[in-house]
Amino acid sequence: MNALTQLSEEERMFQEAVRDFAETEVRPRVQAMEKAAQLDPALIPKFFELGLMGIEIPEAHGGAGGSLFMTVLAVEELSALDASVAIFVDVQNTLVNALLLKWASDDIKQRYLPKLCADLVGAYALSEAGSGSDAFGLATKATKRGDTWILDGRKLWITNGADAGFFVIFANTDFAKGYKGITAFAVERGFKGFSVGKKEDKLGIRASSTCELILEDCRVPKANVLGEVGKGYKIAIETLNEGRIGIGAQMLGVARGAWEYASKYAQERKQFGKPISDFQGIQFQIAQMATEIEAARLMVYNAARMKDAGMNFVKEAAMTKLFCSQVAERVTSLAIEIYGGYGFTRDYPVEKYWRDSKIGKIYEGTSNMQLATIAKLVMGGK
């Protein structure tokens, strides 16, 4: 039997490659990207070159032929330095590529998967101004006209919106059928009637673009329906179940990054004539943080391995996202305290981790939504 944290040779080499990439390419850019509130465009082709944008796509379609486990390894490594870079890669792999791999026709796979591995950035558009937790209350409408679907509506909060050329968009084809009218469409940025609207000015993950999408008489060819008409609700839920493991990995990385800074700082900062790490009060905080990070990592690894093994992982994925986002918020907050006054300033790195941690409790289902899923499953539907 293997320990959860025992990596195969391939996994270990991949993890090291991402760690090296993060150190050499991401770390030097973090502060500037945070200030500019955008990813450095020079980084994007590098993600593709390293194979980070098509981790689970089979080699036949130009991908790395890897696993969700490898995706979470990458997301953790990137998040330890910058959660915005990590979510860019995470959305592509766990939401866009995963959805296409599971639900798209062979024709769509052939048309888009090689591009998604080469230079096409993807986004996943479910939320709207009026429908977040109640995602199936979406108001975007799809009307059939000959061989074309006409989409009308607005999407809000769409990660990678500013950078993406490919969008999975959920719209309702028949409101009379309620959520059973929801359908997923593959929409290219250049389709007539599609445009990207306002970019949000956010508390955290500032370098990640979060945009409104505008669909005005947007023409989508019939062949670009993802899965079946009316099955979008199932596609949306099942994709997000997997995505939540990725967010768990993001929060794990955020917690780890802040912890690494705090534990190093504690050994350098002197008060009362000795490093503050000599005080048991600080040692215990650092030990508690390390323990919570280890627990978070085991949940992420286990949920990803369950998915890769074809097991049912819905409860574990919800628990992972819930717990990892709590750990991230606690650990990053303590990291600021360990830095004292310096931690409260933008001249030191830890306050950014704390701001970046907050999103973990909100996107891909708020913590309350995860608790609702967990409660339903652990109480046997009662």
> Which residues form the interface with ligand FAD (CB under 6 A)?
124-127, 132-133, 157-159, 202, 205, 210, 359, 362-366, 368-369
Best CA proximity match to 29, nearest among 70, 94, 88, 100: 88
- Residue-wise DSSP of 323-365: HHHHHHHHHHHHHHHHHGGGGGSTTSSHHHHHHHHGGGGTTTS
Give me the least distance between CB of 181 and ligand FAD, in Å please: 18
* Tokens (6 digits) for 329: 């918020």
What's the rounded Cα separation, in Å, for the pair 142 and 147? 13
Residue that has been written with the tokens 């195969």 in this structure: 8
Residue with smaller CB distance to ligand FAD, 65 or 165: 165
What's the rounded Cα separation, in Å, for the pair 373 and 67? 25
Residue with smaller CB distance to ligand FAD, 93 or 127: 127
Q: Helices 232-268 & 280-308, crossing angle to 10 degrees?
A: 150
Paired sense of beta strands 166-172 and 122-125, if any: parallel
Give me the least distance between CB of 373 and ligand FAD, in Å please: 11
Give me the least distance between CB of 276 and ligand FAD, in Å please: 34
Residue with smaller CB distance to ligand FAD, 109 or 202: 202
Give me the least distance between CB of 76 and ligand FAD, in Å please: 19
Residue with smaller CB distance to ligand FAD, 67 or 210: 210
Nearest residue to ligand FAD on Cβ basis: 132
What's the rounded Cα separation, in Å, for the pair 295 and 317? 14
What's the rounded Cα separation, in Å, for the pair 77 and 81? 7
Residue with smaller CB distance to ligand FAD, 250 or 263: 250
Helices (H) and strands (E) in the chain, counts: 12, 10
Residue that has been written with the tokens 């979470």 in this structure: 72
Residue with smaller CB distance to ligand FAD, 246 or 343: 246
What's the rounded Cα separation, in Å, for the pair 244 and 239? 9
In contact, 370 and 364? CB cutoff 8 Å: no
Give me the least distance between CB of 158 and ligand FAD, in Å please: 5
Give me the least distance between CB of 357 and ligand FAD, in Å please: 13
Q: List Cα–Cα distances, 346 to 74, 114, 118, in angstroms.
A: 27, 41, 36
* Tokens (6 digits) for 344: 């409260």
Residues marked as catalytic: 364
